[in-house]
Amino acid sequence: METKQRRLEALVAAARPGDSSHTVWLEPMVSAESGFRSKAKMVVGGTVDDPTVGILDADDRGVDLRLCPLYGTDLARAFPILAEFITVARLEPYDIPARKGELKHIIVTVSPGGELMARFVTRSTESLARLRKHLPWLLDRLPRLVVVTLNVLPEHKAALEGQQEIVLTELDTLRMDMGRVTLHARPQSFLQTNTDIARRLYALVAGWVDEGAATTVWDLYCGVGGFALHCVREGRTIVGVESAEQAVIAARRSAREMADAGQPGALEAAFEAADATAWVRGRPAPDVVIVNPPRRGIGPELAEWIESSGVRRVVYSSCNAVTLAKDLGAMPSLAPVRGRLLDMFPHTEHYEAVVLLERV
Ligand SMILES: C[S@@+](CC[C@H](N)C(=O)[O-])C[C@H]1O[C@@H](n2cnc3c(N)ncnc32)[C@H](O)[C@@H]1O
């Protein structure tokens, strides 16, 4: 943890040599060492009668990871049943060297309440009828499995999933109870993989936004709405912007449910499907902008817009401190006044970092 903190501070200091001595670094947020991952991306190997779920070795042979301690008990209980289902439904594991077989991956997500979403990533729809036929067997053994889908990845390439998603259950979202807010995880939408830290991150950022008495807030790269929905308050207008349309639909649904539950301000939370950089152009700046981009960062164009927009406070949450620092370097009028490292990915060199910027 100390190494991660040192690296983060060094990157910010190098990007902002004049300001970084004024940055207050809060105590890093520590994750549980095991059982913290809410999403398992399991590669299927072996044979239909003796499948492995885990990863592939250097020779593309399956290595079973169903006992991996990164996953909690709900996922650990599900893996052997999912592996048995491969045999029951005759889902032939995909053999990379031979380019034969069907089932490539099983992606499983668990909600804080222990409900599950399982996605079978296959080369084609060849196994669809068998999946449907044997689904009652699976649901009988995993009663908390509420969303099951078939995802089609026809290409022989190093991708986790394809474009086509066929939902096999009545429900198509997994409800993630984050405390004040229930997010809807959709099969293809981004979801933070460490739910406990994500929940604390959203609450932390909502607190920072409240300090500034903001009445207008944007959440750029909002995904299914985690930051935006935690910032809902009476008298505040919020807009979440996200390029993935399915995530926007999920965020709108959560906002509607909050409004139905009588949460003040929820009706003033809107979500738009758009490219964040294109969307901001020509609009008057809000009181606060939250950004939580993919690893590539917000990039020079959006950084330049924020820099010249006049916006007084920005919260930048990032899973890549290198691009975070680069973007901070492109916004010299906004000083990093406070930061916090969140150890979302223990046992790796990765981490989340959140920084509050204020106009000098
Ligand atoms: C790191 S995730 C953050 C999601 C969300 N803030 C959360 O906490 O779950 C980045 C999100 O940015 C979205 N995205 C990628 N490129 C984008 C763009 N050009 N404009 C808007 N959203 C984009 C992705 O689909 C993804 O949902």
Angle, helix 73-88 to helix 128-141, in steps of 10 degrees: 140
User: What lines the ligand 1 site, CB under 6 Å?
Assistant: 190-192, 221-223, 226-227, 241-244, 247, 275-276, 292-294
Residue 59 in tokens: 């020779």
Q: What is the ipTM of this complex?
A: 0.99
Q: What are φ and ψ of residue 220, in 5° steps?
A: -90, 140
Closest C-alpha residue for ligand 1 atom 11: 221
- Site to probe by mutation for ligand 1, drawn from 189, 190, 320 as the one with most ligand atoms within 8 Å of Cβ, is 190
The predicted model scores a pTM of 0.94
Residue 213 DSSP code: T
Domains and CATH numbers, the chain: 2-31+194-359 (3.40.50.150), 39-169 (2.40.50.1070)
Rounded-to-integer distance, Cα 105 and Cα 174, Å: 19
Nearest to 75 by CA among 51, 33, 41: 41
Ligand 1 centroid – CA 223 distance (Å):
5
The Å distance, Cα 222 to ligand 1 centre, comes to 6
Pairing of strands 116-122, 145-152: parallel
Q: What does DSSP assign to residue 94?
A: P
What strands, in cross-sheet order, belong to the sheet with 24-25? 24-25, 334-342, 352-359, 313-318, 288-291, 216-220, 237-242, 269-273
Residue 354's SS3 state is: strand
CA distances for 28 relative to 2, 115, 250, 299, angstroms: 9, 30, 31, 26
192 is in an annotated binding site: yes
Write the DSSP symbol of residue 295. Answer: T
Per-residue pLDDT of the chain (360 residues; tens, 9 = 90+): 789 999 999 999 999 988 878 899 999 999 999 999 999 999 999 999 999 999 999 988 899 998 889 999 999 999 999 999 999 999 999 998 889 999 999 999 999 999 999 999 999 999 999 999 999 999 999 999 999 999 999 998 889 999 999 999 999 999 999 988 999 999 999 999 999 999 999 999 999 999 988 999 999 999 999 999 999 999 999 999 999 999 999 999 999 999 999 999 999 999 999 999 999 999 999 999 999 999 999 999 999 999 999 999 999 999 999 999 999 999 999 999 999 999 999 888 999 999 999 999
